[in-house]
Amino acid sequence: MSERNRELLGLIPASLLVTAGFTAVFIERQDLVTDVSLTYGAIFLGLCLAVHIFLRLTLPHADPYLFPLVALLASFGLVMIYRIDVELAREQAQWFVVGIALFALTILFLRDYRVLERYRYLIALASIGLLMLPRVPGLGGGGIGGAYLGVQVGPINFQPAEFAKIGIVVFVASYLRDTRQVLVVGARRILGVTLPPLKHFGPLLVIWGAAMFMLLVIQDLGTALMFFGGFLAVLYVATNRASFVAVGLMLFAAGAWVVGTQVPRVQDRVEIWRHPFDPELVNGRAYQIAQSLFAQADGGLLGQGFGQSQLSGPGGGTLLPVPHTDLIYSVITNELGLVGGCGVILIYLLITERGFKTATLARDSFSTLLATGLTAVLALQVFVIVGGVTKLIPLTGVTLPFISYGGSSIVANFVLLALLLLVSDRARRPA
């Protein structure tokens, strides 16, 4: 079976999931089944088939599993958001279409994605500029839970960090392609630790500075961890030196400690993480993480059943804050249990495996590093939000890719997917 035929076969579960999911919502709310669920499933399948035909014509050798896995996550996310709020689901469906359109445009205009190497410094400056937008007077959408993530432009609110992560990966992959040999050959051992030459490592310290900037100015630990983690993954693949990664981790830990002891917002997040059930915090600042843990514990092994999660109290009031964004994984675990939550994580692991396999098959250094960075950033984003709601790390405001509600998230991640497929097609193309 050819790559594209396997991809076509893989799209069937996604369309069936949409149909079954909307049917379950209708039964739970109205105790009846209409043909609307079949209509939604047919529309979603039609969009997926359109993308499949487009990929068959433009990227015939691309990885056959990446898009079906993403379609499965997106369909699951649409069903979960529709179960939470109908209007939000309609908006998410619109952003899904916009994401697919930008996905297609990325493939059409970046058929030779290596042209991005020529503009690496411009891309890096633009990415850092995007990170600064939330603090620009008149543009910043205000602090969300203390973190400055959103930008308000007219009726549109978006998170520029979602797009900046792609630009930072492009810059790091391009720069390390040229300097990785110099970093290794010119490295010196000091007190048993291998350190790269500062002359060539200097521009990469900008990435560390950007991560610290996010902690200090944007005040978002999760986004900083996602950016710097992706950078370290690319650095390790480029140099094969674990000591460089260790130095990077020490730099990040030192910067995080300084910021954590000086910035009240970060201090507050750490305090909530350490003591989520403190009586003085649980009814206020720690309410979100405490309710998240209660919801997941209540789900048990197999969950309460789809649509059975209690999101609001009998007399009004919110039991589970922002269930469509930050805590959507808690809703999934509450309704589908540990089995459902592990199933979602397994899909992300499969996407990560396909992304890293694309990196190993790539025929040039830039392609290898680009695929590694994009995959690492996506995987770390999942780790940050799942780790946050399960109290493994402090809770932050990043989204669960392709599942959480958010236009900027789904659009940016579709661009990320397009770049991965471009690298995959070039890597798998017959010589």
pLDDT in tens, 328-355: 999 999 999 999 999 999 999 999 999 9
Q: For the ranges 146-155, 193-202, 214-223, 419-428, which has the lowest average pLDDT?
A: 193-202
Cβ 420 vs Cβ 66: under 8 Å: yes
Closest among 417, 415, 420, 428 to 106, alpha carbons compared: 415
The whole-chain average pLDDT of the chain stands at: 84
C-alpha distance across the termini of the chain, in Å? 20
Q: What is the pLDDT of residue 419?
A: 97
Q: How far apart are CA 257 and CA 212, in angstroms?
A: 11
pTM of the model as a whole: 0.91
How many CA within 13 A on the CB side of residue 327?
24
Query: With bands split at pLDDT 50, 70 and 90, how would you rate the model's confidence at 38?
Result: low
Element (H, E) at 58: helix 36-58
369: pLDDT strictly greater than 80: yes
Q: What is the pLDDT of residue 89?
A: 86
| SS3 at position 312 | strand
Query: With bands split at pLDDT 50, 70 and 90, how would you rate the model's confidence at 194?
Result: low
Q: Which residue has the higher pLDDT, 107 or 311?
A: 107
Domain residue ranges of the chain, discontinuous segments joined by +: 114-264
**Average pLDDT of the residues in 13-25:** 79
Q: For the ranges 8-22, 105-119, 193-207, which has the lowest average pLDDT?
A: 193-207
Contacts of 47 (CB under 8 A, 6+ apart): 96, 97, 100
C-alpha triplet 155, 407, 306: angle, nearest 5°: 120
Query: With bands split at pLDDT 50, 70 and 90, how would you rate the model's confidence at 430?
Result: confident
* Predicted confidence (pLDDT) per residue in 46-66, tens digit: 899 999 999 999 999 999 999
How many CA within 13 A on the CB side of residue 322?
18
